[in-house]
Amino acid sequence: MPRNTKLHSRHLLGLQHVPAEDLHLILHWAGHFKEVINRPIKRVPSLRDITIANLFFENSTRTRLSFELAEKRLSADVVNFAASNSSVKKGETLTDTVNNILAMKVDVVVIRHADAGVPQFLADRVPAHIVNAGDGTHEHPTQALLDAFTMQERLGSLEGKNVVIVGDILHSRVALSNIFGLQKLGAKVAVSGPSTLIPRAIHELGVEVIPNVDDALEWADVANVLRVQHERMDRAFFPSVREYHARYGITMDRLKRLSSVPLIMHPGPINRGVELTSEVADSPYAAILNQVENGVAVRMAVLYLLAAQSSTHDVV
């Protein structure tokens, strides 16, 4: 049972500056919401006087769906916005777009954007609660929270557990949020992958680099395997997809050689046959679909706790 009952911040911009007790609080409430979404009727009326805008300036399927389901299961009013069919195409600035949406009395803004720092920029300028749903290669806090929730569910407390993040660390906002979040929850975090995809300064975050993926898997209690983000790669970071798979892809053969198999996680979407084989992704070692289910519960917890901070007396 967490000691605190309220979050310290009005926004969820990233996990870097979120205190550990807030992480525990969110994970604690996520447990309650997981019970709610497994009821025959999965909807509770808590946020029925709250309006939430989902602003997705970058493509997303599962995160947008997951947020939307979380919002609807809390009975919030939801408006969706995708950059591809909006005035952004007509040259409107970001603040203008958001101020226009806020003029329609929105309480919470969930935002995904290809540029790092956009959620912070908005939080400084608009009165709504801002939730970062992924900003460039910076942070993706709700993904890291649902990863942590899934790990806790499978392994108990994360205190002293070893988590290795495998693959494209350089382009990954999931990796950075995972590192910040997991370390605050007491886990040891290492990374493994091609040296071209590992930021040079990663050790400054207290993260060990284990270049050989077999050594990394042997060390780890959890392996969070990241997607190779071809769309963010402006040059060749490794010779070929085939070579990447041969050296860093997680295969059943690799897992069978280990003394104990770590929990395999992946934030999706999977490039099957690149970072993970289908055999591994569909095996009982993988918690990938649990992650998706837990994502809704964790996002319900985040939205609920943020909404709880503003009483009806000071709603924007």
Partner 1 sequence: MAQKTLLTQRDCEVTLSRLCHQLNEVHVPWNRTVLVGIQPRGSQLLKALVAQLEAEFGTGPIEHGLLDITFHRDDFRRRDEPLTASPTEMDVLIEGKRVVLVDDVLYTGRSVRAALDALGDFGRPQRVELCVLIDRRFSRELPIQPDYSGRRVDALNHERVRLNWHGDQLESVLLESPEHAPEH
Q: Phi, psi at residue 133, to the nearest 5°? A: -105, 30
45 binds partner 1 (CB under 8 A): yes
Out of 36, 116, 252, 292, the residue judged to bind partner 1 by CB under 8 A: 36
Among 9, 60, 120, 310, binds partner 1 (CB under 8 A): 310
> At closest approach, how far in Å is the CB of 8 from partner 1?
13
Distance from C-alpha of 107 to C-alpha of 6, rounded to nearest angstrom: 18
Output 22 or 275, the one with its CB closest to partner 1: 22
Distance CA 83, CA 241 (A): 31
**Residue 68, CB-side half-sphere exposure with 13 Å CA sphere:** 13
Name the DSSP letter for residue 184. H
- The residue range among 34-42, 98-106, 233-241, 283-291 that interacts with partner 1, by the rule CB under 8 A, is 34-42
Choosing from 8, 17, 32, 154, the residue that interacts with partner 1 (CB under 8 A) is 32
Distance of CA 36 to the CA centre of its chain: 21
DSSP-assigned letter for residue 272:
B
- Complete DSSP assignment for 83-100: GGGSGGGGT--HHHHHHH
Using CB under 8 A, which of the segments 96-104, 164-172, 255-263, 302-310 binds partner 1? 302-310
For residue 235, count other CB atoms closer than 10 A to its CB.
Answer: 5
Q: Determine, following the binding rule CB under 8 A, whether residue 252 of this chain makes contact with partner 1.
A: no
**Entry field: residues in the chain:** 316
Residue 41 makes contact with partner 1 by CB under 8 A: yes
Here's the x/- map for partner 1, 65-84, by CB under 8 A: it reads as ---------x----------
Specify the residue, 260 or 311, whose C-beta has the smaller distance to partner 1.
311
| C-alpha span between 19 and 185 (Å, rounded) | 10
- The identity of residue 273, as a single letter, is G
If one asks whether residue 43 binds partner 1 (CB under 8 A), the answer comes out as: yes
Q: For residues 44 and 241, which CB has a smaller minimum distance to partner 1 in the complex?
A: 44
Binding region for partner 1 (CB under 8 A) out of 42-50, 57-65, 76-84, 196-204: 42-50
Is 29 a binding residue for partner 1 by CB under 8 A? The answer is yes
Total interface residues for partner 1 by CB under 8 A: 21
CA dist., res. 246 & res. 303, Å (int): 41
Residue 111 contacts residue 130 (beta carbons within 8 Å): yes
Binding site residues, partner 1, CB under 8 A: 5-6, 29, 32, 35-36, 39-46, 49, 74, 307-308, 310-312
